[in-house]
Amino acid sequence: MRPDNERGRPTANRAASNASLNDTADSTLRSRGRAPHRLQAAFVTPACAYLRGWGSRELLTEITGRAPVFGARVRAWHAQPPTARDAIAEAEERGWVVEIVTEEHLLRLAGADLEEIQAAAAERRGELW
């Protein structure tokens, strides 16, 4: 493919046609036809929340100033609920798609067998008391 000018930039006519296409596109879609970032958040307890999705680690690192802990069981990043709410607000400001999901949803995405996990949790509850 030959560039439109010596620096590989589109000419004025082509740039104008591309701009009109971007203006008519859905506002949630990013330029170049890529889908927007998708952030999934699960609030598990008053002290535990999980964030999952492309760019979620970097987002949490920007907010807290340190790398988050990875929850291998749910394949998501652990955060305190206030931090997760800040991350959700920042993601929405950036135009990302945000979903609030349950822990069970994250476990299904991670490929876990829910019946097995629920049976183990019930067994542990019986052992503790």
Class of domain 38-128: alpha beta
- Provide the residue ranges of all domains of the chain, joining segments of one domain with +: 38-128
Q: What is the pLDDT of residues 63-82, one digit of tens each?
A: 999 999 998 888 899 999 99
Please state, in angstroms and rounded to a whole number, the distance separating the CA atoms of residues 102 and 105: 5
Q: Is the pTM of this model over 0.75?
A: no
As given in the structure block, the two tokens for residue 115 are 């019946």
Q: What is the pLDDT of residues 34-74, one digit of tens each?
A: 667 899 999 988 999 999 999 999 999 999 999 999 988 88
